[in-house]
Amino acid sequence: MQIERVMIFNLKKTADMIVYAFSFWLLRCSHIRRRHTQQRMENCEMNKIVSKEQLSESVFKIVVEAPLIASERRPGQFIILSLDDDYAERIPLTIADADPDSGTISLIFQVVGRTTLNLADLSVGDCIDNLLGPLGKPTHIERFGHVLCVCGGIGAAPMYPIAQGMKKSGNKLSIILGARNSSLLILEKEMEKIADSLIVCTDDGSKGRKCLVTEPLEEICKSADAPNLVVAIGPPIMMKFCSETTRPYKVPTVVSLNTIMVDGTGMCGGCRVTVGNETKFVCVDGPEFDGHLVDFDNMMKRLNSYRPVEKEHFEHGCRLKKEIAKLESGR
């Protein structure tokens, strides 16, 4: 009995020591990383964040100094970034806007994983270690006649420069702006300024029409003023059903795909998709394709295969941030 008590006491003592050691290591790592980040920012000369704005609960807009990219960027193109040189994750983000005169580009992103969470933590004056672009083929813009742009959620960000380009080319521009709820709608005022007609819809009816974007899309395709071209950007399932909605009316439909990418130059093959029974690479052959030819089911299956790992990595990062905050506050 006495031996059992001693063993239990020793086990508790060992557990306490492990917790203490882990907490000390966690705090030490946070200080080392912060010092490394501070040193990096002091030497920051490129890719500096000059402004930051929170557009909704999880959507942010940052304006970054990138004069070479700003001067070459065309609607539909994107960049790939990583936040440090220590084998950080590389993610693609569409260039939402660019100002060659000031040498800046605008990036709009939603916090959905570890990298976008860390990106949202950066402040004005901080720098992004690695920024590669512009990448991908630009959107084919000409005078089609009537162009209908369909945006789903964060898809409004990559759509904005495309809509601007279509309007400047003399097209009649209609825009459908959709989201799950009103708090997730972005760029509504900006779209309203350039659109000949704007339809806002939300899944829950909190703003505009209570419907999916496919409902007004089909209404316009049926009308006497049917579009000559539809451009749809949003979640894969939304783009799939937009393409299926326009198919019976034989309206050409372009979609912009956002797949997993690593190098952005066609070498890794991580972004491959099937288009018209052919393998294409989103980073070099796209990101835009004929929506009637894209195998969305295969694309979504590939994307979903990484979801559990992404979720675990994201939640682990959130827990670490909370623990560090507790240790630094002395609680």
Chain centroid to CA 116: how far? Answer: 8
- As a whole number of Å, the CA-based R_g of the chain is 23
Beta bridge partner(s), residue 175: 149, 198
Q: Which of the pair, 42 or 87, is modelled with greater confidence?
A: 87
Average of per-residue pLDDT across 168-196:
95
Beta bridge partner(s), residue 312: none
CA distance linking residue 244 with residue 210, whole number of Å: 21
Q: What is the pLDDT of residue 330?
A: 61
The CATH number assigned to the domain with range 146-256 reads: 3.40.50.80
* pLDDT value at 11 more than 90: no
Structure confidence at residue 9 as a pLDDT band (50, 70, 90): very low
Q: Of 27-31, 182-186, 196-200, which has the strongest mean pLDDT? A: 196-200
Beta bridge partner(s), residue 278: 275
Q: Are 66 and 131 in contact (CB under 8 A)?
A: yes
Average of per-residue pLDDT across 48-67:
93
Q: Which residues contact 53 (CB under 8 A, 6 or more apart)?
A: 60, 61, 62
Structure tokens given for 275: 């288009």
CA distance linking residue 134 with residue 77, whole number of Å: 6
Structure confidence at residue 166 as a pLDDT band (50, 70, 90): very high
* pLDDT value at 324 more than 80: no
Helix axes 307-329, 2-42, angle to 10 degrees: 90
CA distance linking residue 297 with residue 122, whole number of Å: 35
Average of per-residue pLDDT across 194-218:
95
pLDDT in tens, 88-122: 788 899 999 999 999 999 999 999 888 899 999 99
* pLDDT value at 32 more than 50: no
Q: Of 35-44, 98-107, 263-272, 298-307, which has the strongest mean pLDDT? A: 98-107
- The one-character DSSP state at 127 is B
Sign of the CA dihedral 136, 138, 290, 185? positive
Average of per-residue pLDDT across 147-167:
96
Helical ranges in 2-138 per DSSP H: 2-42, 67-72, 114-121
Superfamily the domain 49-137 falls into: Translation factors (2.40.30.10)
Q: What is the pLDDT of residue 8?
A: 47
Tally Cβ neighbours within 10 Å of residue 209.
15
Q: Which of the pair, 296 or 328, is modelled with greater confidence?
A: 296
Q: Are 206 and 175 in contact (CB under 8 A)?
A: no
| Claim: this prediction has a pTM higher than 0.85 | no
Structure confidence at residue 123 as a pLDDT band (50, 70, 90): very high
Cα dihedral 30/32/33/39 (nearest 10): 140
Structure confidence at residue 27 as a pLDDT band (50, 70, 90): low
Q: What is the pLDDT of residue 306?
A: 64
pLDDT in tens, 237-294: 999 999 999 999 999 999 999 888 887 888 888 889 999 999 999 989 999 999 999 9
CA distance linking residue 165 with residue 67, whole number of Å: 20
Structure confidence at residue 185 as a pLDDT band (50, 70, 90): very high
Task: Return the domain boundaries, the chain.
Answer: 2-43, 49-137, 146-256
Chain centroid to CA 153: how far? Answer: 10
Which of left, alpha, beta for 189 (phi over 0: left; psi -120 to 50: alpha)?
A: alpha
